Amino acid sequence: MIQVEPRLGGPVSGDEIPPVDYLSWYVPRLQENRPYDLSQSGFAHSWDFNLESEALLGFWDSGRNPAKWVAERHNIDLDRVCIAHGTCQSLSLAILAALPENGPRAVGVEMPSFAVVSQCARLLGCEVIPFHRGPNSGPWTLNRKEVLDILPKVGAIVLTPVMNPTGEMISEDDQDWLIDVTEKAGVNIVSDEVYLDAARGTEFYRPMYLRSDNAISVNSLTKTYGLGALRFGWIIGDPKFIRNAKHAFQNLQGMASSPSVAIAGAVFPRLDESLEAIWEARKNNLPKLLEVLKTHGIEWTPPPFGIFGAFSIGTDAVQALAKYGQPLGLLATPGGMFHAELSDYLRVAWGADSESFEAAMPVLSQFLTSIQEGIA
């Protein structure tokens, strides 16, 4: 059996540094260019902009401040923003900023989760202790007993409000409860909100930094804005956290890449274009997916917003994709990449263009038929 779920544990270095098993599995399959690709973790949006090489390489001579773009979009003070290279780096910086000086060198991490979210604290010299939102604590609800058990042991907690791979938003009740107990325990929260902007304008848009001074939100242009290759991210939180994060960034990075911030500056005034396109893709594509699942007797309620969801296919998804998916040219994401107990889940994204998504539906249907015939 291939090990694919995140590898938690104590501090690591050298040969102990764990791989991101999802990427080790996914990248070679992505490079196969399978024609029916439902695996995207980010929205596929086509940006149209032109920048001269001088503008790309000379951004830091322009006098512009990219943190100001984030502050203005979120209507917050500039001293509450730190720029970084994407969400992955932002997570590491936020964890370093959130850990108390003399507190436990341990981090509680929500599961299921993407391995970078779960594992990066180990590289920072921390023990990583899991707590769960589902699969067995209810319909994607927080296991409050686990949280209470680990609070005395950790200096910070990391969660992903819009869960990967299910796309489910943490309930407002669980969110408020978590803030209350962490504030009382003196434990800070790092919130990976890279998918949350897809909920802007709805009741589900509840950034953690707006709800508590002990919370740090991280985000980027990667997932909901269709700029995954750019690696432009940011951290929002109390000025004391942001000061710490900036110091960490200066030590680890120095300064941000000029081409990255120049391209980000070109698209920042137009970001809502991508969010509108996400709702359009959802309207066009999601009913087609639901029809396929209904045909195969799979009952599933999709998340209320976003670009992907996950459902059970009744068998190990890694093995099914190898046996049935590859010959069909189909690629999707096994849920076991995020938690072993989701090994029979398949994450499907509907953020592709309508034509290619529709072309993939008969192939997905044949994939599910092959699985069901193989099980029968």
301 with 220, same domain: the answer is: no
- Given a cut of 80, is residue 138 above it in pLDDT? no
Is 103 a member of any domain?
A: yes
* Final residue in a domain of this structure, among 230, 248, 270: 270
Note the pLDDT of residue 131.
97
Q: What is the CATH number of the domain that holds 326?
A: 3.90.1150.10
Q: Look up the domain containing 124 and give its range.
A: 53-270
Is 9 a member of any domain?
A: no
Contacts of 45 by beta carbon, 8 Å cutoff, 6+ apart? 225, 226, 227, 273, 274, 277
Is 1 a member of any domain?
A: no
166 with 287, same domain: the answer is: no
* Mean pLDDT taken over the chain: 94
- Given a cut of 90, is residue 228 above it in pLDDT? no
- Given a cut of 90, is residue 16 above it in pLDDT? yes
* Final residue in a domain of this structure, among 231, 255, 270: 270
Note the pLDDT of residue 2.
59
263 with 303, same domain: the answer is: no
The total number of structural domains in the chain stands at 2
Q: What is the CATH number of the domain that holds 163?
A: 3.40.640.10
Note the pLDDT of residue 231.
87
Following CA atoms 95, 100, 102, 106 in sequence, which dihedral angle do they give, to the nearest 10 degrees? Answer: -40
264 with 276, same domain: the answer is: no
Looking at the chain, the whole-number percentage of residues with pLDDT higher than 70 is 98
> Token digits for 241?
């956290």
Per-residue model confidence as pLDDT tens digits over 67-96? 999 999 999 999 999 999 999 999 999 999
Q: Band of the pLDDT at 137, cuts 50, 70, 90?
A: low
* Final residue in a domain of this structure, among 270, 287, 304: 270
243 with 120, same domain: the answer is: yes
215 with 364, same domain: the answer is: no
143 with 219, same domain: the answer is: yes
203 with 297, same domain: the answer is: no
Note the pLDDT of residue 25.
93
127 with 239, same domain: the answer is: yes
Arithmetic mean of pLDDT, 33-49: 89
Of 219, 276, 275, 270, whose CA–CA distance to 86 is shortest?
219
33 with 117, same domain: the answer is: no
- Given a cut of 80, is residue 268 above it in pLDDT? yes
Per-residue model confidence as pLDDT tens digits over 323-350? 999 999 999 999 999 999 999 999 999 9
> Model's pTM, two decimal places?
0.95
- Given a cut of 90, is residue 193 above it in pLDDT? yes
Is 4 a member of any domain?
A: no
337 with 261, same domain: the answer is: no
140 with 289, same domain: the answer is: no
Cα gap 177→173, rounded to integer Å: 6
